């Protein structure tokens, strides 16, 4: 039986070593998530950290994925059990937690996302057990390892502490955040700076030698995409809804408007 969030689709593709591609969502209209699925993306990145998305809006986006093969991931505002808990009960395929800079912080993420005795997640699901179609014992057994846990490596401290972070059980994906990582070096936006490239290479090498998946959230270009493939990145959030809309809109108006007008 398929899940309510296509988590099994993502897991199967990652286990097969395939590359999975997502797009960031900041607009409130859940038609954006429906569009992402129609366009063929593997997952969405519903951004509660930087975008004005509340729980009700995120729920509508998550529901819009059902019946597709696209999986909804939600980036929460911060690494706090009470921030993470209500998002978990919306039953996304994955939770993305920003600014995880130490093993202690990584352990806190896992505890927040798992029921006792593994974690401290409070019990009160609704969509997960399909509103009662799945019994509590079956739900707890079948979905003990859900959702997929993604932590962001986006600070120099996380790079320094990466060996200890990788030793924490329960983390599925480590996702590079290039802008904040460069900012923590005093070089915001300079993602091709030699120090930045060295840090990214170090993360890629260490994650690649582990049993975890390496991810990234960044803009798309043919050149940068080739680099991410060389580094072994398998989970990529490429661009975001407003950037794609702006780029397509600008291309249309520039093509249609007479030159020089």
Kindly list the catalytic residues.
50
> How many Cα atoms sit within 13 Å of 64 on the Cβ side?
23
DSSP string across 23-64: EEE-SS-THHHHHHHHHT-SEEEEETTTS---HHHHHHHHHH
Coil, strand, or helix at residue 148?
A: strand
Task: Report how far residue 60's alpha carbon sits from residue 78's, in angstroms, rounded to the nearest whole number.
Answer: 21
Task: Report how far residue 86's alpha carbon sits from residue 107's, in angstroms, rounded to the nearest whole number.
Answer: 19
Sort 182 into a burial class: Cβ within 10 Å, 0-12 / 13-18 / 19+.
buried
Rg (CA), the chain: 19
**C-alpha closest to that of 100 among 112, 91, 90:** 112
Task: Report how far residue 100's alpha carbon sits from residue 57's, in angstroms, rounded to the nearest whole number.
Answer: 25
Distance set, CA 120 to CA 75, 89, 123, 245, 246 (Å): 20, 14, 9, 40, 42
- Residue 68 CB neighbour total at 10 angstroms: 17
Sort 260 into a burial class: Cβ within 10 Å, 0-12 / 13-18 / 19+.
exposed
């Amino acid at each position: 039986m398929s899940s309510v969030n296509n988590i099994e689709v993502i897991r199967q593709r990652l286990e097969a070593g395939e590359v999975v591609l997502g797009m960031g969502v900041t607009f409130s209209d859940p038609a954006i998530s429906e569009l992402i699925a129609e366009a063929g993306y593997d997952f969405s990145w519903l951004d509660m950290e930087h975008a004005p998305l509340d729980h009700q809006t995120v729920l509508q986006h998550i529901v819009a994925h059902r019946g597709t093969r696209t999986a909804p991931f939600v980036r929460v505002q911060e690494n706090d059990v009470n921030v993470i808990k209500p998002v978990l009960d919306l039953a996304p395929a994955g939770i993305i937690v920003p600014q995880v800079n130490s093993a202690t912080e990584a352990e806190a993420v896992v505890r927040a996302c798992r029921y006792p005795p593994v974690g401290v997640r409070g019990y009160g699901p609704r969509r997960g057990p399909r509103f009662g179609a799945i019994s509590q014992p079956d739900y707890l057994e079948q979905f003990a390892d859900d959702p997929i846990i993604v932590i962001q490596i986006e600070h120099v401290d996380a790079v320094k502490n990466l060996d200890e972070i990788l030793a924490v059980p329960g983390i599925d994906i480590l996702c590079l955040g290039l802008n904040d990582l460069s900012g923590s070096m005093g070089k915001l936006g300079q993602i091709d700076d030699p120090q930045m490239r060295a840090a990214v290479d170090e993360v890629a090498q260490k994650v690649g030698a582990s049993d975890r998946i390496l991810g990234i959230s960044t803009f798309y270009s043919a050149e940068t995409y080739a680099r991410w493939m060389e580094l072994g990145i398998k989970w990529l959030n490429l661009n975001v809804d407003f950037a794609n809309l702006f780029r397509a809109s600008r291309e249309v108006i520039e093509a249609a408007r007479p030159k020089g007008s």
